[in-house]
Amino acid sequence: MQKPTKPLQKQKGAALILMAFIIGLAVIAYLLHALDPQRLRLVQDKKTMQTLNEAKQALVAWSVSNSLHPGQLPFPDRNLDGNYDGNSDCNSPVSTFVYSFLIGQLPIFGQTNPCISPQVGLAENFKDAQGNRLFYAVSRNLTHKYENFYEDATAVISREPVINPDITKYPLLNPNYNNYPDIKVDVKSYPWLRVVDANGTLVSDKVAAVIFAPGNALGGQNRTGVAPNIGQYLDTFVMSGTIFSNAIYTQPNQAFVIGQDGSTVKSDDTRFVHPYNFNDKLVYITIDELMDAVGRRAAYEASSVLNQYKAKAGHYPYAAPLGAVLANHVSSGVMQSGLVPVDGTDICTCASQLSCSCSFDAITQVTFTRGSGTWTSRTEACTRYSANCNCVGKGSCSNGAENFTCDSAGNCSHNLSGSNSFTYTVPGYANLRKLVVSGCASPVGKQITCDDAGQFAIGLDVPSWFTSNLWQDYFYYEWSSTPSLQVGGKTGVNAILIGVGQAITSPPYASKYIPVAPYVASTGPQGRPPVNLSPSLSDYLDSVENTNGDNIFGATTQQKTSNYNDQTFIVSP
């Protein structure tokens, strides 16, 4: 075998040098491309916007899942306490409110005193592409009012905002809680925050919250201190003689700006006062977005107790009439459509100390306690223990000629003399309310005791925020004995809820429909209590499909419009 000649070896060496040169050029080209300022800015902006949207989703989720006040938003982490520690900084009850309380960094860990429960946070430290924590501004309509106010000469109480679909417009079109003296809140509403574009053109005037990414410090900003003020993070500029600033919050409808990044503004652009320093990025949450999400939470809570009632009773509770007012959403006993009967699915009555009537569908048991003596025998669905006879259905207890008897409908009576009592226990999904001052004591937990003539209601134990925010006024409810309802293309539906939203003031809506008895046609703007105490179906629902009585309703995905804000939810199946 011959050895390679020297010319061939030289050719191979030259090829390797050429290949290395080409690879080097490729690496240099890649580095130049990667380090291109414009490309780098676009990559960072994309990362920042992704973080902003993740923070938006987390903030909405925090609000909707709030165990006590769904729809409320947290106070920001401000520097008035000398630091940005990740906790919400709520104002003191003795403080004078200023709007700067409502802007600061997005809270991470939770709320501290004097913030109300639940004192939980977002549990994530969102940062922009430059490593800065995000900032946040919130509407006063959605925060707890920590400053005290005088309701009368003697009482000083704090305020919760009433959050339901009527909050979305300013001023409130139907502030029906003004007419309910039992609700001790400040019902004053404020205009919503605004967002404008780089030209000052309005983008939205129904903004519940804004989340900002501050980006790198620009000319004049100094972030080296322990807790620099907000102007060291968020930017201000002047365009055509108008000041735009994301660092200022002095009025309820403060405008925040989606400005033009300073890196794209030329020095000869006469629209701006130079030097032009702006690199804020932002996303915002509209009140409509938030209320859609809170409405789904409210529908879930109502559906849960309705389904539990059906599991116990074998059927859904009969509906309360349309037009029901506060504390009177009580079942009609016959109608399968109307409002959710949160205040009373069943009414129980003791005619005297000798007899009481309460359906076994609504209770877990009735315990009759005799004032003296014991029971010696029992029948069917009753058990005995000493002086107590516990019945979960038809049955009796006796001792000689003395007896206590219940029929299958829950009509119970006895023939004993002396002091005796009926104690009713309800399931976990139910609550109790004494209707009149009578022989029934006030409920204790899930039990109520009667020893004479009286009456009480068994209602649905929805969370307290559901009724205090009047969500019972904003759901139409219907069920069928057999699953015969249809929602969009889905058939075989057993029960539905329709979120009715605000009353619509500008027809046409449901302009041609067949009114369903006992409700009559309505041709003007929708009217509900307390303005209209005898509303029709079209005062609640907005389309022909939802009001014509054919058991077919709009799809759960049907989009809202200016004259259609029904939101259909399937309760079962």
* Crossing angle for the helix pair 37-65 and 6-34, to the nearest 10 degrees: 50
Domain match, 257 and 321 both: no
Which SS3 state, helix, strand or coil, does residue 440 take? strand
Q: Is the pTM of this model over 0.95?
A: no
Q: Which residues of 276-291 are buried (b: 16+ CB within 10 A; e: fewer)?
A: bbbbbbbbbbbbbbbb
- Full 3-state SS string of 229-259: CHHHCCCEEEECCEEEECCCCCCCCCEEEEC
Establish if 170 belongs to a structural domain.
Answer: yes
Establish if 237 belongs to a structural domain.
Answer: yes
Domain match, 260 and 407 both: no
Establish if 50 belongs to a structural domain.
Answer: yes
Return the closest-CA partner of residue 73 out of 87, 89, 62, 84.
Answer: 62
Establish if 392 belongs to a structural domain.
Answer: yes
pLDDT of residue 3: 55
User: Tokens representing 134?
Assistant: 């995000």
Domain match, 101 and 184 both: yes
Domain match, 479 and 565 both: yes
- Full 3-state SS string of 80-131: CCCCCCCEECCCCCCCCCCHHHHEEECCCCEECCCCCCCCCCCCCCCECCCC
> Which residues have CB under 8 Å from 152's CB, separation 6+?
none
Domain match, 256 and 331 both: no
- DSSP annotation of 262 reads G
Establish if 25 belongs to a structural domain.
Answer: no
Q: Which domain holds residue 551?
A: 315-341+462-573
Return the closest-CA partner of residue 240 out of 207, 303, 198.
Answer: 198
* Crossing angle for the helix pair 37-65 and 287-313, to the nearest 10 degrees: 40
Domain match, 271 and 383 both: no
Domain match, 107 and 234 both: yes
pLDDT of residue 540: 92
pLDDT of residue 233: 97
Domain match, 183 and 107 both: yes
Domain match, 104 and 196 both: yes
Return the closest-CA partner of residue 291 out of 501, 564, 76.
Answer: 501
Among 459, 478, 504, the domain boundary falls at: 459
Which SS3 state, helix, strand or coil, does residue 563 take? coil
When divided into structural domains, the chain yields a total of 3
Domain match, 438 and 510 both: no
Determine whether 565 is exposed, middle or buried from the number of CB atoms within 10 Å of its CB (0-12, 13-18, 19+).
buried
Domain match, 277 and 319 both: no
Establish if 297 belongs to a structural domain.
Answer: no
Return the closest-CA partner of residue 476 out of 420, 383, 538, 533.
Answer: 538
Establish if 310 belongs to a structural domain.
Answer: no
Domain match, 423 and 511 both: no
Among 442, 459, 476, the domain boundary falls at: 459
pLDDT of residue 185: 46
Among 459, 474, 489, the domain boundary falls at: 459
Averaged pLDDT, groups of 10, the chain, 573 residues long? 56 69 66 66 91 97 94 91 86 85 92 78 92 96 76 53 84 44 53 94 96 94 91 93 94 94 86 89 97 97 98 96 89 95 96 96 97 96 97 97 97 96 97 87 96 95 94 96 95 97 72 47 75 87 88 93 91 94
Establish if 32 belongs to a structural domain.
Answer: no
β-strands 388-399, 337-339: how paired? Answer: unpaired
